[in-house]
Structure 1
Amino acid sequence: MTPKESTTTPAADDVRARLLRQRLAGGGRRARAGIEPADRSGHLPLSFGQEQMWFLSRLDPDSTEYLVPVAFRLRGPLDEAALGRAWDAMTARHEILRTRHVLTGTEPEQLVDAPRTGTLAVTRAASEADARAVVEDECARPFDLAADWPTRAGLIRIADDDHVLLLVSHHIACDAWSTGILVSELSTAYAAFAEGRDLPLAPPALQYADFAAWQRGQASGERFARRLSYWKTRLAGLEPLELPFDRPRPPVRGHGGAEVDLVLSDAVADRVRAVAEAQDTTVFTVLLAAYQLLLGRYTGRREAAVGTVVSGRGRPELQGMLGYGVNTLVLRNRWGAGDSFAELVAAAKRGSLDAYDNQAVPFAKVVAEVEPERDLSRTPVYQAVFTMHEGGGAGPALPGITAEPFLADGGVARCDLELQVRDSRTGPLTGRLIYATDLFDRETVDRMGRHLAGLLDALTAAPERPVSALEILDDGERDRFLAAGRGAAGGPHRSVLERF
């Protein structure tokens, strides 16, 4: 799992579930109008997501919070000239890779520069440690969005048959979907040029500036108003998530982060999948319900709102587009004292499907409606995130070259607490909890991970049992609380907040 995979879609099976529901609704539908090329003679606006990234960059120009680094160790007889030519081809074919974001008058706009050659920077490193130092330095170097292209590509030569390929992008021009496209196309271009062939890729169906202008045009009309009204109603009265932090929340949110690993055993993972099948839903939904329940236990509430992301590429012409296409959805769930886990899963399923049906509303628009007064100490609307990923991240497939991930964790937290889980369809579920180091100690988040695993063990073993009957403390924790005089032996089970 790469450091920035929080930008990926929750899971492909959730998208399939949404499409299946649409198909089961029956009836034909009118063909949608295609996305037309933007007028290149005038102002090229930013998309709503880009505008949010641009604004955050203006607030803190030196921040590296929204950098998306990808690095691979390449072992074998690499053709450096072919790789350099392949990267030049990428910047030529995708305008977003050579777009600057500047303030013109009172509004930011996109300025697309002409393609140029020699855009792959090649440096030497005496050792693996030196190469890692170069990577770390590049990951700590911010972008000037008005002056710089939003992706830096570098090749670090350790030896003739040992290199590191590093791509560092600003989120304003990149998401996980884009990274996958870029790595795949770069591999294809390299293979062709190394063998003396022409680039075999057809031109992109759409450039990002076309999408941004089209998205702006969609943010009006009765249909859009109905979708925006859904979010206003769904998120009405939502209070900030206040977990029991180890330190007071600072007045301005930092972005320092760390992580703890999470593993759900084969037995628990199999029961999670069984509950998903029995509820006619997805593993994502089952894990979402358990995560929301955990957050509720820690806050003493019977509700929780969790942010997640969708690819934002439901239209065919957007599948091959590079750029910031993702959108954030806020998934809110409520439950009663007597509700079972099966009922929580059913509610999470309904809420998720409704959210996917209204995902065309950019999150920036939702924020403007439901939280117009920004609190700089926390992320707007939600403070916890859950994303899910399938299989393993693919590296470049270069002929005669072995590629493996090289990048260490970026040390960034984009909210208070984020759960990432990887599902390989069989065997255990693995993941990590990423946390804000301004708020939490590692020991606290490690305990949260154990509590989540314990909850899932109990919940999936008896999904019809009322969730209020389940205890999240293990025997050792309970004994420590009792020994500290915070409870009485033989007393009733209480939430962790009540025990504190």
Structure 2
Amino acid sequence: TRALPAPEYLHADRYRAPGDAVEEILAGIYAQVLGLERVGVDDSFFDLGGDSLSAMRVVAAINTGLDAAVGVRTLFEAPTVAQLALRIGAEGAGRAPLVAVQRPAVVPLSFAQQRLWVLDQVQGPSPVYNLAAALRLGGALDVAALAAALSDVVARHESLRTLLVAPEGVPEQVVLAPQYADFGWQVVDGVGWSVQRLQEAIGAATRHGFDLGSEIPLRATLFRLSDEEHVLVAVVHHIAADGWSIGPLIRDLGVAYGGRCAGCGPDWAPLPVQYVDYTLWQRAQLGDPSDPESRIAAQLAYWEQQLGGLPERLQLPTDRPYPLVADQRGATVVLDWPASLQLQVAQLAREHNVTAFMVVQAALAVLLSKLSATSDVAVGFPIAGRSDPALAELVGFFVNTL
């Protein structure tokens, strides 16, 4: 066998190296986020493969590294390193850095937590906002090491051992010490079970209703199917984690399990901040919604004006009436797009200096407008909400809807 040849740059003659420190930093950020060896100052972020998610990561890294206040729109307007370097500083100073701070006696909820906490108070404990992951583990498993590794992960991420209590009607975060964080660990003997019985048991585990004021928002169950086959089911309430969090959680669990099997603790770098630090930072940056001079009050006023007058829902020609009360029964429809269509979408995105996601979003809005016979169409999409690189490996609830 022979090694693959070293990659060659197709347009090496057009590569232009950074000319100053700002361009050097920007080129480094582009390369790190996109996984490239080098980036020239005339290379467009989107031509290099950037998309909406990576654009937000780039902007977060730029604002942190250069103490800037660059918005995502700026990256679309100035996608090359050379163009973007000219915009650094033009949009004002950056926000205060997100760092670990001394904590007050009472820690409020983040704005995202506040939304779900209110829903929880109205609806009571419900599995509607549960996030679940089921991992099939093959080969010999050290169950004691796995339990210890889960404890390590809970100790690492305070959000997984936080209670939301409201002793006087005002909710606050209470972080438990790791030794008091009970994640309901169970090992269930499923030897000889049918696939249906296993699926039913997994379903029952994922439908756990969390009492956010008295139990931590994590449950873990291990189903032993044989000496060489297990299924680990972890369930976390959305108020403590989001879809992005699943990646760090699984990675940390793998590192911790490897360490425990070797007879030692996990060898991971300490997290720069915890969710409480983010909450306090967010509150300090945005202010109080009741203060008309605060930043969050201005943002709320803007969106109330932009979305004012929209219908509660689009009148689509459905084949059955809407239920009076949501039954929470949804479905997923999988579409297979041919490669030729995907290439056309990518080409259209490049021509208009946008991402493929934005093209599809626009197409969906046009379709809904046609079906509902109205031009007032609002489509919500979740965004990661991790505006600082310090949050990249943290388990927590940061997602927002745009």
| Smaller-chain TM-score bracket | 0.7 to 0.9
2:162 corresponds, among 68, 83, 99, to 99
> 1:317: Cα distance to partner?
1.8
Look up the match of 1:230.
302
Task: Give the Cα–Cα distance (whole angstroms) in 2 for the partners of residues 141 and 45 of structure 1.
Answer: 26
Is 1:257 matched up with 2:298? no
Task: State the AA in 2 paired with 1:122.
Answer: V
> 1:250: Cα distance to partner?
3.2
The CA deviation string for residues 66-111 of structure 1, in whole angstroms up to 9 with x for no partner, is 1111111111112212211111101111111111111221211111
> Unpaired segments of 5 or more residues in structure 1?
1-9, 330-500
Task: State the AA in 2 paired with 1:291.
Answer: L
> Are the equivalent residues in 2 in contact too, given 1:150–1:173 (CA < 8 A)?
yes
Task: State the AA in 1 paired with 2:123.
Answer: D
CA gap of 1:14–1:252, structure 2 versus 1, over 3 A, is: farther
> 1:277: Cα distance to partner?
1.3
> 1:159: Cα distance to partner?
0.7
> 1:173: Cα distance to partner?
0.4
Task: Give the Cα–Cα distance (whole angstroms) in 2 for the partners of residues 317 and 253 of structure 1.
Answer: 37
Task: State the AA in 2 paired with 1:198.
Answer: G
Secondary structure, aligned partner of 1:258: coil
Look up the match of 2:279.
212
> 1:45: Cα distance to partner?
0.9
Look up the match of 1:321.
394
- TM-score between both structures, scaled by the size of structure 1: 0.60
> 1:37: Cα distance to partner?
4.0
Task: Give the Cα–Cα distance (whole angstroms) in 1 for the partners of residues 198 and 141 of structure 2.
Answer: 17
> 1:56: Cα distance to partner?
1.0
Q: Note the 1:9-48 alignment, pairs <5 A.
A: 11-15=52-56, 18=72, 20-21=75-76, 23=84, 26-28=87-89, 30=93, 32-37=95-100, 39-48=102-111
Secondary structure, aligned partner of 1:260: coil
Task: Give the Cα–Cα distance (whole angstroms) in 1 for the partners of residues 263 and 199 of structure 2.
Answer: 32
Look up the match of 2:381.
308
Task: Give the Cα–Cα distance (whole angstroms) in 1 for the partners of residues 152 and 361 of structure 2.
Answer: 41
> Are the equivalent residues in 2 in contact too, given 1:311–1:326 (CA < 8 A)?
yes
| Two-structure CA RMSD over aligned residues (Å) | 2.3
Task: Give the Cα–Cα distance (whole angstroms) in 1 for the partners of residues 259 and 239 of structure 2.
Answer: 30
Task: Give the Cα–Cα distance (whole angstroms) in 1 for the partners of residues 214 and 88 of structure 2.
Answer: 50
Q: Note the 1:34-183 alignment, pairs <5 A.
A: 34-37=97-100, 39-116=102-179, 119=183, 120-126=185-191, 127=193, 128-183=195-250
> Are the equivalent residues in 1 in contact too, given 2:100–2:272 (CA < 8 A)?
no
Secondary structure, aligned partner of 1:249: coil
Larger relative CO (CA 8 A, sep 6+): 1 or 2? 1
Task: State the AA in 2 paired with 1:111.
Answer: V
CA gap of 1:229–1:25, structure 2 versus 1, over 3 A, is: farther
CA gap of 1:216–1:185, structure 2 versus 1, over 3 A, is: same
The CA deviation string for residues 404-460 of structure 1, in whole angstroms up to 9 with x for no partner, is xxxxxxxxxxxxxxxxxxxxxxxxxxxxxxxxxxxxxxxxxxxxxxxxxxxxxxxxx
> 1:62: Cα distance to partner?
4.2
The CA deviation string for residues 16-63 of structure 1, in whole angstroms up to 9 with x for no partner, is 582634735513364542235455451111111111111111211243
Task: Give the Cα–Cα distance (whole angstroms) in 1 for the partners of residues 294 and 116 of structure 2.
Answer: 28
> Are the equivalent residues in 1 in contact too, given 2:96–2:285 (CA < 8 A)?
no
- TM-score between both structures, scaled by the size of structure 2: 0.74
Secondary structure, aligned partner of 2:334: strand
> Unpaired segments of 5 or more residues in structure 2?
1-50, 60-71, 79-83, 288-292
Task: State the AA in 2 paired with 1:179.
Answer: I
Secondary structure, aligned partner of 2:187: strand
> 1:166: Cα distance to partner?
0.8
Identity across aligned pairs (percent)? 36
> 1:158: Cα distance to partner?
0.7
> Are the equivalent residues in 2 in contact too, given 1:293–1:303 (CA < 8 A)?
no
